[in-house]
Amino acid sequence: MTVFFSKKCEHGLQAILFMATKDIECVCPAEEISNKLNIPKEFISKILQSLTESGIVESKKGKSGGFKLAKHPSKIKLIDIVEAIDGLESFNTCVLGFSECSSKNPCPVHHQWGELRVKAYEMLSSETIDKFKEKTLNKIKII
């Protein structure tokens, strides 16, 4: 369980990482992604449709339909997926939900959370999904 990303975003990240393990032209049926990642098919289909609207994924209809990455994995950053699903608001708001939280009027964890938030944003912005192929394959074998 995470406190940073929604379940939808977690599953979206997992699905995109899984798709990046495939050949660039491979069309993955939602059922395959669902089975490999143990995510309900309807849920993963909705997530992938929203990622299609953002240009990260392409969908193909019909008997041999499914989803594929719209661009090369080296061109997709983790932050692109997070932004498409959850948006970037969590990088700009108080982790405790205080509306008046700022450097001048900090919440109890403002400074510590700010450091973590910056590091998380930097990591997600610098890492492209092609770098995680082997780690993803190893993780999926365990599932």
Picking from 143, 138, 137, the residue whose alpha carbon sits closest to that of residue 19 is 137
Range(s) of the domain holding residue 98: 7-142
Query: Do the domain assignments include residue 47?
Result: yes
CATH number at residue 90: 1.10.10.10
**pLDDT by residue (tens digit) across 79-90?**
999 999 999 988
Amino acid at position 115, single letter: E
Q: How confident is the model at residue 63 (pLDDT cuts 50, 70, 90)?
A: confident
Q: What is the pLDDT of residue 110?
A: 92
Query: Do the domain assignments include residue 71?
Result: yes
Q: How confident is the model at residue 93 (pLDDT cuts 50, 70, 90)?
A: confident
Give me the phi and psi of 120, to 5 degrees please: -65, -45
3-class DSSP state of 31: helix
Query: Do the domain assignments include residue 34?
Result: yes
Query: Do the domain assignments include residue 31?
Result: yes
Query: Do the domain assignments include residue 2?
Result: no
Domain count along the chain: 1
Contact between residue 14 and residue 21 where contact means Cβ atoms under 8 Å apart? no
Query: Do the domain assignments include residue 1?
Result: no
**pLDDT by residue (tens digit) across 114-130?**
899 899 999 999 999 99
Query: Do the domain assignments include residue 61?
Result: yes
